[in-house]
Chains A and B, each alone.
Chain A
């Protein structure tokens, strides 16, 4: 799913139809995904807690074994333990997801603010650029960036980040246009503050507020796009244990060992869904707190 799509669904503000729980934090819709996110965090921090296997240890006696009590997720074509490869791959996948989102947010804030506040011809040009970028599927833009930069973890991060700038830029632009009209900006102008001070201290922080939640959801979307790139053979390349790379490798053995692709793909799906759910839950809770 692209981040634009996410914005559309999120911004329509589908607040949960008034859940009347006394402790909204205890809803299972929050607790389960929250638990999953915490597990993910631990997999990044302390992968050795989860598994005794070395993710790169080759075992020629255990090639393409089905999931069992010893190898929870089975083994790959070199007899490496799939579960530990997924656990150790978490940090790379999440780093790419978070890094790409940071780039996208930064780029989006700069491009969106410029598109809102520049003098007319420039702002119109920038708005057109945003429109044109939004005309392309994100995965196609990411593929173009990969074509320019080449493959690898860092380039995957950049490709995913750059390709989702336009969605954030569109949001920030409309936010800035709103904030510009607010009383405190008028006040600052009347006090004779320098335009750059107004932009940096008043406009950007207020316009970027909704980014906090959207960026959280964006991390999920970025993990998804990055794993898709690797799956297409254009992102992180094996033998790295990044999730998409594991999946791409597993696709070769789908007829004799379906778990080698199914389980990594399921881990991606569960992680992305959990991150999205946590963010959305927080959004509704915060919205209710504001009201």
Chain B
């Protein structure tokens, strides 16, 4: 049907428009914030007040385009940002894109393993406890609530002092190898797992009360198969609406986790960038965060279609 494919294309273009609007908005907010930062960027560049004389100052100012009027700086910044060019970091004297690329590895490892652990934990707990006896349900949801309100750094510090200092099972700080990844990944995963379990269990319990569950049971399908094959699909739909919050707590959590465990990564360069008022780097990091958010949301929308066939029919 040509009409429906045109609709699909139109919907796709609309999505793309929203993506650009979000990125552009994020870039603008970050630019305004950075321009509001008091202090002279040249003194950040040169590593302190009064280190450079007027001539050097002029060179630096020109080199970083700081002599241009604000709207020129803004236009240049937005256009360059579109091509992934955020300029050179004041602090590290390296292209921002390069810095971010280098720092992204350890953070991706940390966030990826944390999300993996969280998924495994929450899936198994939700599948095992949904619709079971009240005692278990109350105990599990109590633990979830406590984990949700517990600071990530508290979990990190407890793990660190018990397993690294007391038992000496794991290295204390750093990025070296797999064993240095375990504790931070667990610390970051527990609050995520708590939130996910709550939603998954609610979704499962709701699905198990639906008429279709009765039909499936009547066909003689076992309880486990019912939960895995039918209930989980409905629960997953409910859980995928939470992706935004999950993403935010993973990214925010990594800043804290990296600090507790002394790991390098995106969180660490974010802190450095803000402490030293390294504007290009701050802008690049803000854009990175917005970009990841947008991409994840697009993926989730695609995932919806995969999970729920009804949506496929209405979209086509």
Residue A17 CB within 8 A of the other chain: yes
B207-242 interface with A by 8 A CB criterion: 242
Asked whether A9 is an interface residue with its Cβ less than 8 Å from the other chain, the reply is: yes
A145 CA to B198 CA, complexed, in Å:
32
Q: Which residues from chain B contact A258 at a C-beta distance below 8 Å?
A: 157, 161, 165
Q: Are A2 and B242 in contact (CB under 8 A)?
A: no
Give the nearest-CB partner of A2 in chain B. B248
Known: A14-B198, A144-B30, A234-B271. A224 touches B251 (CB 8 A): no
Q: Cα distance A230–B37 when bound, in Å?
A: 20
Q: Which residues of B contact A227 (CB under 8 A)?
A: 151
When the two chains form their complex, are residues A231 and B289 in contact, meaning their CB atoms are under 8 A apart?
Answer: no
Binds A, one of B70-78, B178-186, B254-262, B298-306: B254-262
Chain A residues with CB under 8 A of B244 = 4, 134-135
Q: B1 an interface residue at 8 Å Cβ cutoff?
A: no
Tell me, rounded to whole Å, the shortest Cβ–Cβ distance linking B292 to chain A: 9
A132 in the interface (beta carbon within 8 A): yes
Within 8 Å by CB of B245, from A5, A128, A251, lies A5
Tell yes or no: B25 within 8 A of A by CB: yes
Partner of B252, one of A2, A129, A233, A276: A2
Q: Contact at A131–B22, with CB atoms within 8 Å?
A: yes
Question: B153 touching A144 by the CB < 8 A rule?
Answer: no
Query: Contacts A4-B248, A137-B289, A220-B149 given: A255-B165 contact, CB under 8 Å?
Result: yes
Q: Which residue of B has the minimal Cβ distance to A274?
A: B149
CB nearest to B24 among chain A residues: A132
Indicate if A165 sits at the interface (CB-CB under 8 A): no
Residue of A nearest to B258 (CB): A232
Per-residue contact bits, chain B 93-124, to A (CB 8 Å; 1 contact, 0 not): 00000000000000000000000000000000
For B293, give the chain A residue with the smallest CB separation.
A135
Does more than half of chain B's interface fall in helix, strand or loop, or is it mixed?
helix
Assess whether A14 is in contact with B275, with CB atoms less than 8 Å apart: no
**Does A169 interact with chain B (Cβ within 8 Å)?**
no
Interface centre among A135, A137, A147, A148 (most CB of B within 10 A): A135
Cα–Cα distance between A135 and B26 once the two chains are bound (Å): 9
Residues of chain A with a CB closer than 8 A to B79's CB = none
Interface size on A, residues (CB 8 A): 52
Q: A220-B149, A255-B172, A276-B149 are in contact. Are A5 and B195 (CB under 8 A)?
A: yes
Closest chain-B Cβ to A87's Cβ sits at a distance in Å of 19
Chain A residues in 8 Å Cβ range of B38: 148, 150
Residues of B near A132 (CB, < 8 A) are 22, 25-26, 29, 290
Interface size bracket, B side: 35 or more
Give the contacts of A234-291 with B (CB-CB under 8 A). Answer: 234, 247, 251, 254-255, 258, 261-262, 265-266, 268-269, 272-273, 276-277, 280
Report the bound CA distance from A79 to B271 in whole Å.
30
How many Å from the CB of B159 to the closest CB on chain A? Answer: 11
CA separation between A146 and B38, bound complex, in Å?
Answer: 11
A86 touches B (CB below 8 Å): no
Q: B160 contacts which chain A residues (CB < 8 A)?
A: 254
Nearest-neighbour CB distance to chain B for A22, whole angstroms, equals: 18
A46 contact set on B, CB distance < 8 A = none
Known: A137-B248, A138-B248, A255-B172. A272 touches B255 (CB 8 A): no
By a CB distance below 8 angstroms, the chain A residues around B52 are none
8 Å CB interface, A74-133 against B: 128-129, 131-133
Q: Is the CB of A8 within 8 A of B245?
A: yes
Interface check A143, CB cutoff 8 A: yes
Tell me the bound Cα distance from A261 to B151 in angstroms: 13
| Whole-angstrom distance between the Cβ of B291 and the nearest chain A Cβ | 10
B107 to chain A, nearest CB (A): 13
**Could you show 21 A-B contacts with beta carbons less than 8 Å apart?**
A4-B245, A5-B195, A9-B195, A135-B26, A136-B248, A138-B252, A139-B255, A140-B270, A144-B274, A144-B282, A146-B274, A147-B33, A147-B37, A228-B256, A232-B259, A234-B274, A247-B153, A251-B260, A258-B161, A272-B149, A272-B151
* Chain B contact residues, CB within 8 Å of chain A: 21-22, 25-26, 29-30, 33-34, 36-38, 134, 137, 141, 145-146, 148-154, 157-158, 160-161, 165, 172, 191, 195, 198-199, 202, 242, 244-245, 247-249, 251-252, 255-256, 259-260, 270-271, 274-275, 277, 282, 286, 289-290, 293-294
